[in-house]
Amino acid sequence: MANKKYSTCFALSLLTVTLNQAVYAAEEPQLMDEVVVSGTREAERKSEVPATVDVIKGDDIRKAKASHPSEIMGRVPGVWVNITGGEGHQTAIRQPLTTSPVYAYLEDGIPVRSTGFFNHNALYEVNMPQAGGIEVTKGPGTALYGSDAIGGVINTLTRLAPLAPEIEASAEVGSFGWKRLLLTGGDTRGDDGVRADLNLTKTDGWRESTAYKRNSGTLRWDRALGSDATLKTVLTYSDIDQQTAGSSAISLDDYLNNPTINYTPISLRKVKAARLSAAYEKEIGNSSLSITPYVRDDSMDLLANWSLGYDPTIYNTSNQSMGLMAKYRTDFEPYRARLIVGVDVDNSPGSRSENSILTTNVGSGITRQYIAYTTGARVYDYKVTYQGVSPYVHGEMSPTAALRLTAGLRYDDMSYDFRNNMSATAVSAVTSVGTKWYGQDANSQLHYSHLSPKLGATYAFSDSLNGFVAYNHAFRAPSEGQLFRPAATSTSAVAAQQIAAGNLALQPIKVDSYEAGVRGKSGSGISYEVSLYNMIKRDDILTQRDPLTSAPIQTNGGITLHRGVEIGAGAELVNALRLDVSCSYAKHMYDTWLTSTADYSGNEMALAPRVIANTRLTYTPGILQGGELGVELVTLGKYWMDDANTTEYEGHNLWNLSGSYYFSKDVALFAKVKNLTDKRYAESTSGISAYAPGMPRTLYVGVQSAWK
């Protein structure tokens, strides 16, 4: 009975790893054996993926003890994730830093949010500190993942159940009231393996009125269904309550001399996010079948700090989803061929209710402070349902042992069904910045369809060196907010309705991307990967102003160019001493960007540093009994603060230290210091004279223990 129990446990573990969590093969020492799952939703060797896919291992995530997603994501070449408050963030991957829906955020391959209800803070809706791994696919991923996957795909993987009973705990405290408790545990009995994670985080924030609280958990249940099938059920939940002004920009004088000041203490963000999925995987000879139904429930209350000066409102958005991801894969001869066909179905009803607010202010101009508010008139109240049906096909073959060819095609058919609970005429509201008019759309249905192809090839020059070339086409459909939440105007009701009509006419943005790269490992133990890309974005959304009314109206018409090189390398310098370097050099340009008031064609885009780099030196001497010492240099190059290219942020270099010591195999002490030199720097900038200050020197200490 005991032998049967453990053989079943082994089969469960092996099958689950193979089908669902192939990324764990990245623990193998040879670079060419590294396995990823995000390229095709199937386990395959990274050396045969014609794309830049970076893997962050689960062990590295747990060692990093990251207090914010930026601390771990910054290790990926060409990735800049900043801090906007709490665990909020903006992301730059082959794009300038942005809040636009140009990235696909996944958990175990399932989109964290529906296409129509994108959230640029999506990483705080994922329990990243307790993840089993992260895969970052840079560049367009539309041919597999659909709209939003323009700049890249970030796939966070949940952690496998342990084969034997296990509990792990990590407790830490830090500067500015930081407290975090991470608990995880599980077991495998017979055909079933279960793991539960709990993340409780709280901080007072280092700036005035920037407190943050997070309660989140993950429950994963893997069940072996005989010797050839598994069922993986994952339930995740996050409850986030934060004062969002951590990202609010302040004047240059306050940035230099009084960075803790907060001009918008009334701002808030409250998020609840729940997801449930059940992934069925079955091996059938040389084929496999995968069926994954899922449900999502998201809601957010937001009083945005960035719009208080021109459009002060408070609102609630909610979105519920039911979806299905189905896929069939078959491998056959000759030429080691593989064919994958699948379909994604998403039905996501959502809503928005929004009220104007009257604020109580102190001061004027850029240093005006918003200290209180009262709720005013209702300005938006509607329901909108996003629906998408997206079949796709992907094929691979190897005409020779060294050459592998891939091709894929996805067809997205998507629609919005909009129902306005208010009349289809502009409404006015008295706000703290004067009377505002808000355009209203009539009940309507919008439909988009698009074909997204991809082509690629990999070539093995040797057992330790391969290269790839790829072409990918991508698109991004307008989101719910861009379509049905037109900008307010102080001009007139007529102007407000013009803005609303202009939004409904928006069309998807299109992207063509060309990429080439090499990856390998030298005999001296140096591993490396170099990628070059050229991306052209057309029909980008720009803002025009009506010459008669001055009302801002969004239209398609911009063309931008994104070109760069990304380098990642690592090496054991001497025994117990390792160096890892991630860096990128890129230019993000306006090719055509003409509004009624300015022509930015030929200029560099704002918030687009040419240089992004991360350098880490890790020392693991025996005296630390499994612990390590680390020093990290985070480099962000200079960038333009405005599209007119008149004012430049000088960039910054930040030093971080970390260390750990094991008292025994299962008990360790850890500590880290962020911004060791206490450098004044900006997380982001706004316009030509406003800066969002980054954290000063910050200390964290903690203890972790395991019971097995």
Question: Per residue in 137-163, pLDDT tens?
Answer: 999 998 899 888 899 999 999 999 999
Rounded-to-integer distance, Cα 12 and Cα 8, Å: 6
Single-letter residue type at 335 = Y
Whether the CB-CB separation of 232 and 220 falls below 8 Å is answered with: yes
Look up residue 105 and give its two tokens. Answer: 């955020």
Concatenating the DSSP letter of every residue in 66-124 gives: -SSHHHHHTTSTTEEE--SBTTB--EEESS-SB-SS-EEEEETTEESS-GGG--TTGGG
pLDDT value at residue 22? 37
For residue 157, the tally of other CB atoms under 10 A from its CB is 25
CA distance 645 to 648: 7
Mean pLDDT over the full length of the chain: 91
Round to whole Å and give the CA distance between 15 and 13: 6
Average pLDDT over residues 552-563: 85
Q: Which residue has the higher pLDDT, 589 or 549?
A: 589
Cβ density class 96-121: b for 16+ within 10 Å, e for less? bbbebbbbbbbbbbbbbbbbbbbbbb
Residue 310 has pLDDT above 70, yes or no: yes
Distance (Å, rounded) from C-alpha 187 to C-alpha 221?
Answer: 10
> How many Cβ atoms sit within 10 Å of the Cβ of residue 402?
12
- Strands, E, within 192-306: which ranges? 192-203, 212-224, 229-242, 250-251, 268-284, 287-303
Residue 2 has pLDDT above 60, yes or no: no
Q: Which of 691, 708, 700 is nearest to 247 (CA)?
A: 691
Asked whether the beta carbons of 611 and 651 are under 8 A apart, the reply is yes
Q: Which residue has the tokens 């069922």?
A: 231
- Bridge partners, 355 (sequence order): 314, 378
Mean pLDDT over 650-665 rounds to 97
pLDDT at 508: 93
Contact 134, 66 (CB under 8 A): no
∠ CA 171-172-177, nearest 5°, is 130
pLDDT of the residue at 110: 95
pLDDT digits (tens, 9 = 90+) for 232-280: 999 999 999 998 775 688 999 999 999 999 999 999 999 999 999 999 9
pLDDT above 90 as % of the chain: 79
63 or 524, which is more confident: 63
Write down the pLDDT at residue 551: 54
Task: Give the pLDDT of residue 30.
Answer: 45
Does the pLDDT at position 14 exceed 50?
no
Q: How many CB atoms lie within 10 A of CB 354?
A: 19
User: Would you state the torsion angle of the CA atoms of residues 376, 378, 379, 382, taken in this order, to the nearest 10 degrees?
Assistant: 160
Query: What is the pLDDT confidence band of residue 32, given thresholds at 50, 70 and 90?
Result: low
Q: Please state, in angstroms and rounded to a whole number, the distance separating the CA atoms of residues 420 and 599.
A: 36
Token readout for 672 is 């880290």
- Peptide bond between residue 486 and the one before it cis (omega within 30 degrees of 0): no
The greatest distance separating any two alpha carbons of the chain, rounded to the nearest whole angstrom, comes to 83
Q: 597-621: per-residue pLDDT in tens?
A: 789 999 999 999 999 999 999 999 9
Q: Which domains does the chain have, with CATH numbers?
A: 2-412+432-707 (2.40.170.20)
Provide the H-helix boundaries in 401-479.
none
Q: SS3 helix, strand, coil % of the chain, rounded to 5?
A: 15, 55, 30
- The rounded distance, in Å, linking the Cα atoms of 110 and 234 is 11
pLDDT of residue 353: 97
Give me the mean pLDDT over the 166-178 stretch: 97
What is the structure's pLDDT at 545?
56
Q: What is the pLDDT of residues 327-384, one digit of tens each?
A: 999 999 899 999 999 999 999 999 999 999 999 999 888 899 999 999 999 999 999 9
Whether pLDDT at 186 is above 90: yes
Do 272 and 263 contact (CB within 8 A), yes or no?
no
* Inter-residue contact 191 to 8 (CB < 8 Å): yes
CA distances (Å), 267 to each of 36, 260, 309, in order? 40, 16, 12
Q: Residue 171: is its pLDDT beyond 80? A: yes
Amino acid at 124: Y
Please say whether the beta carbons of 376 and 356 come within 8 A: yes
- CB count within 10 Å of CB 19 equals 20
How distant, in Å, are the alpha carbons of 261, 350, 482, 666 from that of 321? 40, 9, 20, 41
Average pLDDT, integer, range 476-484: 91
Residue bearing the bigger pLDDT, 60 or 548: 60
pLDDT tens digit string along 369-416? 999 999 999 999 999 999 999 999 999 999 999 999 999 999 999 999
Per-residue H/E/C for 352-410:
EEEEEEEEEEECCHHHCEEEEEEEEEEEEEEEEEEEEEEEEEEEEECCCCCEEEEEEEE
> Could you tell me which of 655, 665, 659 has the C-alpha nearest to residue 621?
659
Residue 624 contacts by C-beta under 8 Å, 6 or more apart in sequence?
Answer: 659, 660, 661, 662
- Taking Cα atoms as reference points, which of 173, 205, 198 lies closest to residue 88? 205
In the structure encoding, which two tokens stand for residue 483, read together? 């379509």
Q: What mean pLDDT do residues 479-505 have?
A: 90
